[in-house]
Amino acid sequence: MSGLEERQVLKARNVTVRFYTYAGVVHAVTGAYLDVYEGETIAIVGETGSGKSVFTRALTGLIEPPGKIESGSVLFRRRNGEVVDLLKLSREDLRRVRGDEISYVFQDPSSALDPLYTAADHIVETILVHRDVSKGEAFSEAVQLLRDVAIPNPELRAKNYPHELSGGQKQRVVIATAMANKPRLLIADEPTTNLDVTVQAQILDLLASLKGKYGMGMLLITHNLGVVAEVADRVYVMYGGRIVESADVFTIYESPAHPYTAMLLKSVPDPTRKIDKLESIPGTVPDLIDVGPGCLFAPRCPFAKDVCQRQTPPAIELGDRHVVHCWLHAKR
Amino acid sequence: MVPSVIGALLITYLIAYVIPTDPVRAWVGEKLLNPETLESLRKKYKFDAPWYEQFTYLVAQLMSGKLEDPTRGVPVVAQVAERFPVTVEVAIFGFLFTVAIGIPLGVLAAAKRDSVIDLAVRVFALFGSSMPSFVLYYYLILLFYVQTQATLMAGVPTPSYTCMLKLASFKDQVPIIGAIAWTVGQVPMFGAAMCGEYGVVADTVARMWLPGFALGVLAGGFIARVVRNSLLDALSSDSVLFAKARGLSSARIWRHALKNGFAPIVTILGLHFAGLLTGAIIAETVFNIPGVGRYIYQGIGRLNFPVIIAGTFLFSIVYVVANFVVDVIYALVDPRVRY
Amino acid sequence: MSLNPLFKLSELALDGYVKVREKLSPGWLDKNKSKILEWKLTLYALTASKTGSTGILLVSITLFLAAFGPALAWEPYDVYPVLVNPELAGKCPYPPCIGGCRGMPAAGTDVFGRDVLSLVVRGFRISLVMSAVIVVASAALGVAIGLVSGYYGGAIDEALMRFTDIMLAFPGLVLAIAFSLTLRFSIRSLLLSNPALTGFFAALFALNPSDAPNIANILSLFLALILVWWPPYARVVRGSVLTVREQGFVEAAKALGLSTTRVLLKHILPNVMSPLLVMVTFDFATATLSSATLSFLGLGPQPPVPDLGLIISMAGEYFPERSWWVVVEAGAALLLMSLGWNLLGDALRDAFDPRSRRSMEVRAKLKVGA
């Protein structure tokens, strides 16, 4: 079954993830969806707790108990052209996809890298598990990869342990590991949040150039709207575990349809304007335990109506692949 | 290190000798000695001198190896040195059983978290820490010696005299390796093995497996819990998540987890071995093993202060050295700790 | 939601306490509503788990026997039947037998002809008082040193911590042996010259006041253990003090003009309470075993005192055919006591652990007050 369009790499539909904890059932992600095309950079934006990390991990089934992927389909076009539903693959098949065709870069490189393994060890391991090459070949590939991610003296650095590297270098090693098998899709979960601002720019540039060089798709998770404006082609906005709006980057910035998106954009201060007060969104992030019907943003929304509390808004197409989940745009 | 050892000696001594009593009489026991002999003994140990003189005398005697066991008239240090290898042997058996019981159980409990096995390990650890050691030893003796005659209960198998001579000459002939071989060979079991006297080795196993097993049962639960917790921490770490995200095989992921999980365990195991050495007093007494522990116990009974002092000193050194060795091992295992 | 009877009982006790405090100082209830809720939740957490309820059960038995054991015991401990009745001498230790053994106790006797079970019942008191005194005294000492060291810092901190480290670096058992041996003589002379003191301790241990040397032995035993026991408390408390100091409470309090002791007692100590309570509970188990071990080695009281370690040690000579029941009975008593404390400690630790607490809070949904 091929539900994918011609240049589409990934199609996720109706993904729901729940965590069964002592405190109750946490609806971390509800009915999320995603489309990624070749060569695109997709940004997923949202506050902490919006479910963006859980959603992207669920894409390759990286959810551990007490979490459970309740439903959903994630169609993925593999290198050999075959289209599979990742959520229906066996564990062994899924393992083959990860690190080979879909790679992850996580937020904190210090904790992602194993302190007892050298930089090269990480890369070599990832190569050997997915491809049939000798250790020596893998090692020279690793050195080359370290060169590609702009680490000076790669032959030397390859033998370094993580604690001997700076934050920026560690993240580069992580990226090199992710790139090792030339994946079709790179999922980067807040890759620059833990780094200095100057290093952030370098890493983003690096990711962009690698994307171009290898022709990958990139899924970037961030809460930094500035970064989104710089690199993204299309944007998905998440709130309370759901997608609330999705559009191409220009539309999102120029005409956001969802009140949350609009308020998010307004809360980013413009350095060229003098203001007296910083804009913020009143209220707090919703509690995702035992969630009932209705729009989750309603308690904080200045435009909330009766129907918003009672019924969950459906997806409303505003044309040109701009979708919003808000009763304000519902046609009577 | 040195200040710590001196400190312990001082503390022991201060309390020991600042007492208005006559240990000499206690040493002599029921025997009737003429007052002059008693007096000369007192003079010898300087019991009539101020405490600091007594202490310096004692330490000097100890350090130079001349301190004497008053009940036997032989140097204490020699007596202790004779018995220490036996204590080491007991500790080795105890350590092997602890590791053999504790580590597999711990790994199993981590792999099957919150299962029946996990609960059983928890209960096992609980009993291990609630059971009085000597009671367990008696129970086990009842079971294995009395009912089934599965072990020996007296003496320690030692290698033959010719063997010890061979080792000594080896030490003299070959420089460093000889010395190491000789030191290792002091432990009866290893000495016999090096000379090919495997009968002695077999006898040693028959003799020592029960105390070793008992020690293992007591500590195994605790070690299992430590291993379990350490492994679980490692398994839920971000680096394991990243490993999974890279598509590493189950085996490789466990390798990551085990390597990271075991680093802190090495420290604990090292300290446990030191604990086995110094805590041997009870086991040696109940199992009738002629090691340093039992020697100290006998000294306690007779208020034999030189023996007690020498024993305390030895155990303090063991502990301090063990701490040091553990630090070194940890530095080897964890690349972040390099000096 | 059905609450188990253990919880209902403790809740009743707590409510009673609350009522009394309210009567003494009206308004106390309102001010401490959240604290009382905390206590209720801790009680619930403790009684709801199997570990907790079993632990509470065993500890209650221990406390009961410790309090009433000597009164309940049916045989005096300082009378040796073999001396009273010389024909028994060869037959003792007499094995247990159920249902009439020609006048011999069903639980068997020790070498002196005394009923083992009666001795064990008496032994609870000695074990409990010893562990209680050791733990409370060393905790108090350790906490005091830790507070002072952490609060004042500087040279005092350095010196105290150096000392603590030296004490920590040594095998406790060995040091305790050395100390207890050497302390007993001074204590013996102290007691002999001070009958009132002797009488007090005799009552505490339910022993005969004329047996001063044995009382001295007991005292030297736990004095030795206290000396060895306090360092971990000092370390833990000092650590907490340093953490609290960094949080600025202390600065603020000093700026408000509060005296040092006030700051220490009212602000720092409460933060340390939970881990301290857990430590103390576990230590009761360890202290029970350690004092029994030292008694076993001969450093504790001597016969006829019914110390459990001593009883087992004496039985060792006739082990196994002629005294296995002694080891079984006295050993079981020691096991049960430490098991109880360990279980309670485990349950307390879980009750205070914020992760497992969240789940219990949700399940309990308790109310406080009227």
pLDDT at C76: 76
From the CA of A59, how many Å to the nearest CA of chain C? 28
Q: How many CB atoms lie within 10 A of CB B315?
A: 28
HEC string for C233-283: HHHHHHHHHHHHHHCCHHHHHHHCCCCHHHHHHHHHHHHHHHHHHHHHHHH
Residue pLDDT, tens place only, B83-138:
888 899 899 999 999 999 999 999 999 888 888 888 889 889 999 989 999 989 88
pLDDT at C364: 60
Using CB atoms within 10 A of its CB, is residue C118 exposed (0-12), middle (13-18) or buried (19+)? Answer: buried
> What average pLDDT does range C332-357 have in this prediction?
85
B28 touches chain A (CB under 8 A): no
Task: Please determine, for residue B261, whether its predicted confidence score (pLDDT) is greater than 60.
Answer: yes
Query: Which residues of B fall within a CB distance of 8 Å from A130?
Result: 247
Tell which A residues from 17 to 76 touch C, by Cβ distance under 8 Å.
21-24
Task: Please determine, for residue B40, whether its predicted confidence score (pLDDT) is greater than 90.
Answer: no
Residue pLDDT, tens place only, B305-328:
677 767 777 777 787 778 778 878
Interface test with C, best of A22, A26, A289 (most C CBs within 10 A): A22
pLDDT at B281: 83
Interface test with C, best of B15, B25, B303 (most C CBs within 10 A): B15
A84-93, B84-93, C40-49, C226-235: least confidently modelled range: C40-49
Q: Which of B19, B131, B319 sits opposite C170 (nearest CB)?
A: B319
Between these two residues, B304 and A323, which has the higher pLDDT value? Answer: A323
Structural domains in chain A plus CATH codes: 8-101+183-329 (3.40.50.300)
pLDDT at C368: 38
From the CA of A20, how many Å to the nearest CA of chain C? 12
> What average pLDDT does range C90-109 have in this prediction?
69
Q: Which of C299, C309, C338 sits opposite B130 (nearest CB)?
A: C338
Determine whether the interchain pair B244/A62 forms a contact, defined as Cβ–Cβ distance below 8 Å: yes
* Mean of per-residue pLDDT scores for chain C: 77
pLDDT at A234: 93
Instruction: Give the confidence band of C367 by pLDDT, cuts at 50, 70, 90.
Output: very low
pLDDT at A173: 93
Using CB atoms within 10 A of its CB, is residue A287 exposed (0-12), middle (13-18) or buried (19+)? Answer: middle
Determine whether the interchain pair C362/A22 forms a contact, defined as Cβ–Cβ distance below 8 Å: yes
Residue numbers of the domain that contains C336: 114-342
Residue pLDDT, tens place only, B287-300:
888 888 888 877 77
- Strands lying side by side in the sheet with A316-317: A102-105, A185-189, A217-222, A41-45, A234-239, A242-248, A323-324, A316-317
pLDDT at C215: 74
From the CA of A187, how many Å to the nearest CA of chain B? 10
A278 touches chain C (CB under 8 A): no
Query: Which residues of A fall within a CB distance of 8 Å from C359?
Result: 21-23
Q: Does residue C351 form part of some domain?
A: no
With CA atoms as reference, the chain B residue closest to A105 would be B242
List the CATH number of the domain containing C305. Answer: 1.10.3720.10
Assess whether the previous peptide bond of C275 is cis (omega < 30° from 0): no
With CA atoms as reference, the chain B residue closest to C289 would be B132
Between these two residues, A70 and C47, which has the higher pLDDT value? Answer: A70
Would you say A233 and A41 are in contact if contact means Cβ atoms under 8 Å apart?
yes
Determine whether the interchain pair B238/A112 forms a contact, defined as Cβ–Cβ distance below 8 Å: yes
Phi, psi at residue A7, to the nearest 5°? Answer: -100, 20
A2 touches chain C (CB under 8 A): no
Q: Does residue C369 form part of some domain?
A: no
Task: Please determine, for residue C328, whether its predicted confidence score (pLDDT) is greater than 90.
Answer: no
A-C Cβ pairs (cutoff 8 Å, strict): 9
pLDDT at B23: 52
Q: Which of C171, C183, C285 sits opposite B278 (nearest CB)?
A: C171
A135 touches chain C (CB under 8 A): no
Task: Please determine, for residue B274, whether its predicted confidence score (pLDDT) is greater than 90.
Answer: no
Assess whether the previous peptide bond of C81 is cis (omega < 30° from 0): no
A234-239 and A41-45 as β-strands: parallel, antiparallel, unpaired?
Answer: parallel
Distance of CA B8 to CAs B60, B310, C170, C214, C228, Å? Answer: 15, 12, 8, 27, 12
pLDDT at B50: 56
Determine whether the interchain pair B19/C316 forms a contact, defined as Cβ–Cβ distance below 8 Å: no
Instruction: Give the confidence band of B66 by pLDDT, cuts at 50, 70, 90.
Output: low
A323-324 and B68-69 as β-strands: parallel, antiparallel, unpaired?
Answer: unpaired
Residue A140 has which token pair? 């020279």
pLDDT at B19: 42
Q: State the pTM of this model.
A: 0.79
Q: Does residue C331 form part of some domain?
A: yes
Q: Does residue C284 form part of some domain?
A: yes
Q: Does residue C102 form part of some domain?
A: no
Q: Which of B17, B135, B315 sits opposite C174 (nearest CB)?
A: B315
Residue type, B195: C
A8 touches chain B (CB under 8 A): no
Sign of CA dihedral B287, B290, B295, B300: positive
Residue-wise over A179-203: b if at least 16 C-beta within 10 A, else e? bbbebbbbbbbbbbebbeeebbebb
Interface test with B, best of A64, A110, A114 (most B CBs within 10 A): A114
In percent, the amount of chain B with pLDDT more than 90 equals 14
Residue B101 has which token pair? 């019981």
Q: Which of B246, B335, B336 sits opposite A177 (nearest CB)?
A: B246
Q: Which of C171, C293, C342 sits opposite B130 (nearest CB)?
A: C342
With CA atoms as reference, the chain C residue closest to A289 would be C362
Query: Which residues of A fall within a CB distance of 8 Å from B112?
Result: none
Q: Which of B246, B256, B334 sits opposite A99 (nearest CB)?
A: B246
Assess whether the previous peptide bond of A65 is cis (omega < 30° from 0): no
Residue-wise over A43-56: b if at least 16 C-beta within 10 A, else e? bbbbbebbbbbbbb
Between these two residues, A156 and B204, which has the higher pLDDT value? Answer: A156
Q: Which of B239, B248, B259 sits opposite A113 (nearest CB)?
A: B239
Select, from the ranges A222-231, B63-72, B244-253, the one with the highest average predicted confidence (pLDDT). Answer: B244-253
From the CA of B163, how many Å to the nearest CA of chain A? 44
B263 touches chain A (CB under 8 A): yes
Phi, psi at residue A181, to the nearest 5°? Answer: -110, 20
Q: Does residue C34 form part of some domain?
A: no
With CA atoms as reference, the chain A residue closest to B261 would be A116
Mean per-residue pLDDT pooled into runs of 10, chain A (332 residues):
76 91 83 89 88 91 88 89 88 90 91 91 93 92 90 90 89 92 91 83 86 86 86 91 91 88 81 75 76 83 84 85 86 62
Determine whether the interchain pair B245/A114 forms a contact, defined as Cβ–Cβ distance below 8 Å: no
Q: Report the C-alpha gap between A171 and A200 in whole angstroms.
A: 10
Determine whether the interchain pair A125/B334 forms a contact, defined as Cβ–Cβ distance below 8 Å: no
Between these two residues, A187 and B18, which has the higher pLDDT value? Answer: A187
The neighbours of chain B, by the rule of 3 or more Cβ pairs under 8 Å, are A, C
Q: Report the C-alpha gap between B99 and B268 in whole angstroms.
A: 11
Query: Which residues of B fall within a CB distance of 8 Å from A62?
Result: 241, 244-245
With CA atoms as reference, the chain C residue closest to B1 would be C166
Closest CA to A203 of A169, A229, A177, A179: A169
Query: Which residues of C fall within a CB distance of 8 Å from B146?
Result: 320-321
Closest CA to B4 of C162, A254, C290, C54: C162
Q: Which of C173, C292, C313 sits opposite B281 (nearest CB)?
A: C173
pLDDT at A196: 82
pLDDT at B14: 57
Query: Which residues of B fall within a CB distance of 8 Å from C313?
Result: 134
Q: Does residue C74 form part of some domain?
A: no
A253 touches chain B (CB under 8 A): no
Determine whether the interchain pair C358/A23 forms a contact, defined as Cβ–Cβ distance below 8 Å: yes
Domain count, chain C: 1
With CA atoms as reference, the chain C residue closest to A23 would be C359
pLDDT at C357: 66
Query: Which residues of C fall within a CB distance of 8 Å from A22?
Result: 356, 358-359, 362
Task: Please determine, for residue C33, whether its predicted confidence score (pLDDT) is greater than 80.
Answer: no
Interface test with A, best of C49, C359, C360, C365 (most A CBs within 10 A): C359
The neighbours of chain A, by the rule of 3 or more Cβ pairs under 8 Å, are B, C
From the CA of A23, how many Å to the nearest CA of chain C? 5
Residue B231 has which token pair? 């492994």
From the CA of B132, how many Å to the nearest CA of chain C? 6
Query: Which residues of A fall within a CB distance of 8 Å from C356?
Result: 22
Q: Does residue C323 form part of some domain?
A: yes
Residue pLDDT, tens place only, B167-185:
788 777 877 777 777 778 7
Tell me the CB-side half-sphere exposure of residue A158, using CA atoms within 13 A. 19
Query: Which residues of C fall within a CB distance of 8 Å from B18?
Result: 186
